Amino acid sequence: MRPDLVVPGENEENFVVARDARVVTVPFSPIEKRFAKEKPQLMPGLQKLREELGDAEFDRLITRIHNINVSGERCLIVAESELHRTFILRDALPAISRAFNVSNIRVVTQG
């Protein structure tokens, strides 16, 4: 075999893992439940948004959002998928702007 040919596994470093390393899967929960603990400062905006959109639209569009960050006049929303992002942009953008008092909204997808 040629010396310059690299065989998989050859010259690889040994990877050391801590003894108690664990991967934990956490079930997805609605945004209101998560933000009540993680970001309580956004809860008034979410309540206004629920009032503006109504329960059915809020559940369809907003509860599946992965994250919302608000800084001054800017808002960043992380949607579940490209289709979900499109629905948010089409159906909820003005309501989000009024609820969080922001003028610049960016909706992105995770992944």
**Residue-level pLDDT at 83:** 95
Residue-wise pLDDT for 3-47, tens only, equals: 665 555 656 666 666 666 677 777 889 999 999 999 999 999 999
Structural domain includes residue 3? no
Structural domain includes residue 46? yes
Per the structure, the complete domain to which residue 65 belongs is given by 31-109
- Residue 31's alpha-carbon distances to 9, 10, 19, 28, 77, in angstroms, are 44, 47, 34, 9, 12
Could you tell me the pTM of the whole model? 0.75
Task: Look up the CATH number of the domain holding residue 50.
Answer: 3.30.300.20
Structural domain includes residue 19? no
Structural domain includes residue 68? yes
As for how many domains the chain has, the answer is: 1
Q: Is residue 110 very low, low, confident or very high in pLDDT (cuts 50, 70, 90)?
A: confident
Structural domain includes residue 2? no
